[in-house]
Amino acid sequence: DAGVIQSPRHEVTEMGQEVTLRCKPISGHNSLFWYRQTMMRGLELLIYFNNNVPIDDSGMPEDRFSAKMPNASFSTLKIQPSEPRDSAVYFCASTNLLSTDTQYFGPGTRLTVL
């Protein structure tokens, strides 16, 4: 199994630019999670999907953030416009109904906004 795939692995952009992070969950998994990790705030849940439907987006910091899951094998997290305080590592994770106790994390995208 390829595991959760995220792209890009590193992104450097300038303030005000649009950033799109991509995630491919493990095949057969029906729940997908987006997390953000910083030294100050730790690992924060931004949003999660069940069967491609957003269930809880209360962790999305503000309207500049949006997430979509058009099908079971692809999700995007978009930041527009980006700000320096958005600099963090963004993780995508997935799980399925048979192993809901276990979330499988992707390698993460390290975002730097200058």
Partner 1 sequence: GQSLEQPSEVTAVEGAIVQINCTYQTSGFYGLSWYQQHDGGAPTFLSYNALDGLEETGRFSSFLSRSDSYGYLLLQELQMKDSASYFCAVRENSGYALNFGKGTSLLVTP
For partner 1, give the closer residue by CB, 53 or 71: 53
Cβ atoms of 50 and 69 closer than 8 Å: no
Of the pair 72, 81, the CB lying nearest partner 1 is at: 72
CA atoms within 13 A on the CB side of 58: 2
Diameter of the chain measured on Cα atoms: 42
- Binding pattern for the stretch 6-45 against partner 1, x by CB under 8 A and - elsewhere: -------------------------x-x-x------xxxx
Size of site (CB under 8 A) for partner 1: 23
The string over 44-56, giving b where at least 16 C-beta atoms fall within 10 Å of a residue's C-beta and e elsewhere, is ebbbbbeeeeeee
From residue 56 to residue 85, the character string flagging contacts with partner 1 as x (rule: CB under 8 A) and all else as - is: x-----------------------------
Closest-CA residue to 94 (of 37, 10, 44, 23): 23
Residues that bind partner 1 (CB under 8 A): 31, 33, 35, 42-45, 48, 50, 55-56, 91, 93, 95, 100-108
